[in-house]
């Protein structure tokens, strides 16, 4: 059975916008590198095309095979300057910038550490970090690793 159809005029209007691209450069340097101890400092700069630039610095102290037991420890700290999201995706003409009204910044200090155990070719690890993510509040980061 044929269903009657009437042609309906239609017009599609779109506007172009560039895809977000991020340029990131980082550098790390071992300030101290001994047999079992290491102190590393690092820095990072990020420039996305759709937001303001950000930067961060960090420091890690790590010791391996503590007392010949197979356990390794690490302590980490960092400070990040991260801009607020300045995009308004609800704009009819595409993305436009707007000033953030949030009084809570995402900039700040992160602290953490790690514990791992390894024998032979396998390794088991646990890492923890805490950082205040502004509107999201204090956030805990946990990771577990297994390697062989």
CA–CA separation, 22 and 43 (whole Å): 16
Say how many residues make up the chain: 148
**In a domain? residue 9:** no
**In a domain? residue 140:** yes
| pLDDT for the residue numbered 109 | 94
Enumerate long-range contacts of 124-131, CB under 8 Å, 24 or more apart.
127/74, 129/76, 131/80
Total count of domains within the chain: 1
* Residue 21 backbone class (left: φ over 0; alpha: ψ -120 to 50; beta: rest): beta
**In a domain? residue 5:** no
Q: What is the mean pLDDT of each run of 10 residues along the chain (148 residues)?
A: 84 85 96 94 93 94 92 96 64 48 69 95 96 87 96
Going from the C-alpha of 1 to that of each of 5, 8, 126, 133, 137, the distances in angstroms are 13, 21, 67, 61, 62
Q: For the chain, what is the largest distance between any 2 Cα atoms, rounded to a whole number of angstroms?
A: 85
**Cα end-to-end span (Å), the chain:** 66
**In a domain? residue 42:** yes
**In a domain? residue 91:** no
| pTM tops 0.85, yes or no | no
| Structural domain range at position 134 | 22-82+106-147
| pLDDT for the residue numbered 133 | 83
**In a domain? residue 2:** no
């Amino acid at each position: 059975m044929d269903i009657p159809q009437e042609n309906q005029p239609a017009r599609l209007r779109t506007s172009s916008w560039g895809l977000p691209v991020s340029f990131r450069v980082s550098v790390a340097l071992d300030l101290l590198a001994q047999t079992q101890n290491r102190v590393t400092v690092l820095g990072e700069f990020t420039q996305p095309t759709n937001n303001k630039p950000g930067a961060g610095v960090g420091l890690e102290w790590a010791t391996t095979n503590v007392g010949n037991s197979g356990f390794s420890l690490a302590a980490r700290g960092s400070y990040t300057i991260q801009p607020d999201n300045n995009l308004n995706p609800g704009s009819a003409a595409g993305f436009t910038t707007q000033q953030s009204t949030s009084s809570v910044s995402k900039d700040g200090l992160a602290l953490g550490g790690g514990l791992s155990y390894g024998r032979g070719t396998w390794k088991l690890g646990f890492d923890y970090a805490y950082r205040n993510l502004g509107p999201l509040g204090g956030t805990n980061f946990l990771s577990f690793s297994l390697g062989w």
